[in-house]
Amino acid sequence: MIHRSLKAKLIASYLVVALLSVVVIAGFMRLTSNQSLLNLVMEQQATRLNEEAAFYYEQTASWAGFLEYYQTQLVRDPAFLEQIPTPSDKNPPGDYKDHEYPREIRGRNGLVGADLVTIIPFPGYDVGDSVPQSEIDGSTAVTVNGNIVAWVIPDRGFEFKLSPEEQLFLDRTNRAIFIAAAAGILGAVLMGFLLAGILLKPIRSLMEASKKLSKGELEQSVPVTSQDELGQLTQTFNQMSADLARADQQRRQMTADITHDLSTPLQVIAGYIEMLEDDDIHLTNRQVQIIMTEIEHLRRLVDDLNMLSKTDARDLNMEIHSCIPGDIAQQAYDGFEAICLRQNVALTLDIQPDLPNILVDEGRVMQVLRNLLDNALRHTPAGGFIRIGVDLWEGQVRIQVQDSGSGIHAEDLPYVFDRFYRADKARSGNAGKMGLGLAISKALVLAQGGTIYAESQGLGQGACMVILFPPEKKPSFTHLISLF
């Protein structure tokens, strides 16, 4: 019902726009076509008067008798003839009987000589009246041999009836306007149906995918058919669907991991407790140590989950102060040197001199480095190497933990810091590990205003975990002066 309602609204909007356009255009043409035709007739009559006046003056070199000639030979409008007495002389002077004159002259166009004396009367002026120069403005000059001999003054206010031929032309024009308007409206409705169907097709696809998504079918992908707002919406939906599917997969994996990591130590502990139920059996020191190890594993798991929940709630205590990045890296190196030596892994430390300090919680940064070094050590075989590097890179203090281990597949790089993310070809965990170490490291770095990401050339090519912290800003000389 939603998409049908939207389709109806789109069609209605097209129809309203088309109606308004057609009504405005048709109304304008209807109102102006009649007056335009009348003006055309008047202009034709004025042009004819101009031509006849020029012809008469060229033949006679005088305006004498032109009024009588105009009345008897050119004017056929009875309403106009009633206003001017009919002269007795029917024939104009000069030899121009073979000249073809119009059958009908309509309108009261005036004629004024070059001396601004009225030759043919027009509203407000009789024959012989002097005409002011202002009346000549906008009139048409009558020229003979390049000289102005008179002025034709059109009468725009005269009303007359159109001839049957002209009225038929006007009626046909109005009929054509009506047909065009009806065709425009019909075309708008058809285009409305067509365009609404095209525009709503991706919306229907999104609606169907959304319904499936609401039923738990998270893997939904809608084809992107354009690059406009609908295309961007479709891309966003596809990304959301993919993220939901991945989050659901991580949730399932998390449940399985937690179940496994909780059940294994609990089964071990439960087994030894069952042994204690038999009074004849006593636990040895080694068995007690095994129980303590499993309890420690459970404690670490609970601590990790608790830390992640605190970082999510922004409730993690931080003791931020100015720290020397090289000293932090040195402490991490000292803590893992013996372990790496025991596993035949070369551990090196490179610190760029004169590095600026960073504002961090030193203990939390040490925790991050321990997690990264522990992760690198678990994935680096004997004979490999691990390098800790600290330098200044693009204005940021960079701490690197690089190894020659198993590497990370390109498709896993964006997810290695996600919680509980595991893949056989990724570096997120080993047996007995929950895959929380890198997630905790990312949360701690972000909480201190830093950035962390992973780099790898692929499987078997090793990996490099990179941490970036902005350097501590030193107070300016002006600020130091203000303190005093």
Q: CA 160, CA 107: separation in Å to the nearest integer?
A: 8
- Range from 21-30, 42-51, 374-383, 416-425 that averages highest in pLDDT: 374-383
Higher per-residue confidence, 480 vs 234: 234
What confidence tier does 25 reach under pLDDT thresholds 50, 70, 90? confident
Residue 86: the pLDDT is 41
Mean pLDDT of the 425-438 span:
53
The residue ranges of every structural domain in the chain are: 2-108, 229-312, 321-469
Model confidence at 5, pLDDT cuts 50, 70, 90, reads low
Q: Which residues pair with 389 in a beta bridge?
A: 350, 400
Residues 294, 268: contact at Cβ < 8 Å?
A: yes
Question: What was the pLDDT predicted at 163?
Answer: 67
pLDDT tens digit string along 354-409?
A: 999 999 999 889 989 998 998 899 899 999 999 999 999 999 999 999 999 988 88
CATH topology assigned to domain 229-312:
Helix Hairpins (1.10.287)
Angle formed at CA 466 by CA 463 and CA 470, multiple of 5 degrees: 175
What does the mean pLDDT of the chain come to? 78
pLDDT, tens only, 443-458: 899 989 999 999 999 8
Give the 3-state secondary structure of residue 283: coil
The whole-number pLDDT of residue 74 equals 56
pLDDT at residue 385 in the model: 95
DSSP SS3 for 273: helix
Tell me if 303 sits within 8 A of 261, measured CB to CB: no
Q: Which residues pair with 392 in a beta bridge?
A: 397
CB 454 within 8 A of CB 417: yes
Find which of 162-166, 238-242, 334-338, 419-423 is predicted with most confidence, using mean pLDDT.
334-338
pLDDT computed for residue 334 by the predictor: 92
Report the CATH fold assignment for 321-469: Heat Shock Protein 90 (3.30.565)
Report which of 366, 359, 363 is spatially closest to residue 321, judged by C-alpha positions. Answer: 359
Q: Give the Cα separation of 403 and 409 in Å (integer).
A: 15
Out of 128-132, 237-241, 243-247, least confident range? 243-247
Please, is 403 exposed, middle or buried when counting C-beta atoms within 10 Å of its C-beta (0-12, 13-18, 19+)?
Answer: buried
Q: Tens digits of per-residue pLDDT, 206-222? A: 888 888 888 888 778 88
Provide the sign of the torsion angle of the four alpha carbons 300, 301, 305, 306, taken in this order. negative
Name the least confident of 78-92, 113-127, 190-204, 230-244: 78-92
Cα-based torsion angle of the residue sequence 219, 220, 224, 225 in order, rounded to the nearest 10 degrees: 150
Residue position matching structure tokens 């033949």: 59
Residue-wise pLDDT tens digits, 144-178: 988 999 988 876 565 556 667 767 877 787 788 77
| Better-scored residue on pLDDT, 253 or 331 | 331
pTM, rounded to two decimals: 0.49
How many whole angstroms separate alpha carbon 107 and alpha carbon 166? 16
pLDDT of residue 287: 80
Q: State the average pLDDT over residues 332-342.
A: 91
